[in-house]
Amino acid sequence: MPNLTGKSVLITGAGGSIGLAIVDKLASEGADFVINDMSQESAAIAANIACEHGVRAVTNNGNVTVENDVEGMVDLAVNEYEKLDIVIANAGLHITTELVNTSRAQFQRIQDVNVWGVYLTNREAAKQMIKQGFGKIINAASLSGHRATELQSVYNASKYAVVGITHAVATELAPHGITCNAYCPGMVDSAMWDGIDAERARILGVPEGQPREQALKKIPLGRMAKTDDVAGLVKYLASSDSDYITGQAIQVCGGAFMQ
Ligand SMILES: NC(=O)c1ccc[n+]([C@@H]2O[C@H](COP(=O)([O-])OP(=O)(O)OC[C@H]3O[C@@H](n4cnc5c(N)ncnc54)[C@H](O)[C@@H]3O)[C@@H](O)[C@H]2O)c1
């Protein structure tokens, strides 16, 4: 029997590259979904992927930075499935900027989605999970939450914060039977990395593709992650196999960084 049958999952930003892979993987294990993405079209694509596995999926187009919207996502899960077993705070934005050219607006936009959006999703899920006495919170951090890279100070700040939130939430919610962990992808073959390559090439004045080649050289396993590599870790964190694991921010980076 698939090991997530009967589990309800709320995932934010589900219509992006990594979100779609997570939905596919967890739906193949029998999970039912509340699928959030600000883009209605992307949310519908994710829901179709889930439904192809014969599970239930409802969509939500809320913004993870808006309190009423996130409350609504948790309410939707409870109304549909009577509980919320797993929340995946996956929505996030990237920006490539030079420190000296970064504006307050750019900084705040990224922190709002990547930090406040994750914190708010954790907070609202926690209210329900504390009532239930169980739950798994899974946050999208990044290799950039463990290691800094040039032209990424704003993104690094946000992902280090997600790791901090994950530690704090894990500590505070452990007495309630709730775990909190983070997945930390390195370089993923995704739309986000296509954008990073283009922006880095523009700022550094090098041909497109060169930033990607340089970054690839630092990966011992010699390739970018597939979105499915990330989804595999999330499946593990969502399953009972990880019940004794909390407060961890686990890297999926092909060995690019080792601790
Ligand atoms: N792609 C990578 O190489 C990589 C590496 C490390 C970490 N990550 C992290 O993994 C997560 C997913 O990344 P991805 O590559 O799938 O990104 P993506 O850009 O493909 O998808 C992000 C999705 O989030 C949605 N979204 C954005 N802002 C939102 C908001 N305020 N409310 C609701 N939805 C919103 C977008 O519509 C989009 O569908 C992000 O947190 C990202 O920072 C990605």
Residue 136 falls within a domain, yes or no?
yes
Mean pLDDT, all residues of the chain? 97
Q: What is the pLDDT of residue 259?
A: 84
* Domain contains 3: no
Cα 1 to ligand 1 centre (Å): 31
Whole-angstrom distance, CA of residue 173 vs CA of residue 57: 27
Packing angle between helix 153-173 and helix 117-132, nearest 10 degrees?
10
Q: Is residue 159 included in any domain, yes or no?
A: yes
Helix, strand or coil, per DSSP, at residue 63: coil
Please report whether residue 217 resides in a domain: no
Catalytic residue among 136, 159, 183, 235: 159
pLDDT at 87: 99
User: Which pLDDT score is estimated for 2?
Assistant: 60
Q: What is the domain range of residue 12?
A: 8-188+225-252
- Is 119 an active-site residue? no
d(CA 86, CA 197): 33
Neighbour-count burial of 16, counting CB atoms closer than 10 A to its CB (0-12 exposed, 13-18 middle, 19+ buried): buried
Q: Which of 143, 187, 190 to mutate to test the pocket of ligand 1 (most atoms within 8 A of CB)?
A: 190
pTM: 0.98
Q: From the centroid of its chain, how far is CA 169? A: 16
Query: DSSP code of 225?
Result: B
| Residues 6+ positions from 220 with CB-CB distance below 8 Å | 254, 255, 256
> Cβ(54)–Cβ(31) under 8 Å?
no
* 20 part of a folded domain: yes
pLDDT tens sequence across 157-177: 999 999 999 999 999 999 999
Assigned domain for 99 exists: yes
| Packing angle, helices 17-28 and 40-51, rounded to 10 | 20
The answer to whether residue 131 is catalytic is no
Is 43 a residue whose pLDDT tops 80? yes
pLDDT at 187: 97
Over residues 130-151, the mean pLDDT reads 98
Is residue 1 scored above 70 in pLDDT?
no
| Domain total in the chain | 1
**Residue among 10, 11, 17, 154 to mutate when testing ligand 1 (max atoms within 8 A of CB):** 17
The answer, yes or no, to whether residue 99 has pLDDT greater than 80, is yes
DSSP letter, residue 188: B
Residue owning the nearest CA to atom 18 of ligand 1: 16
Residues 105-115 pLDDT 10s: 999 999 999 99
CATH of the domain at 107: 3.40.50.720
User: CB-based burial of residue 205 (10 Å sphere; 0-12 exposed, 13-18 middle, 19+ buried)?
Assistant: exposed
Q: Residue 210: which H helix or E strand, with range? A: helix 210-216
Summarize the confidence of residues 208-219 as an average pLDDT. Answer: 97
Residue 139 belongs to some domain of the structure: yes
Q: What is the mean pLDDT of residues 195-213?
A: 97
Is 98 within a domain?
yes
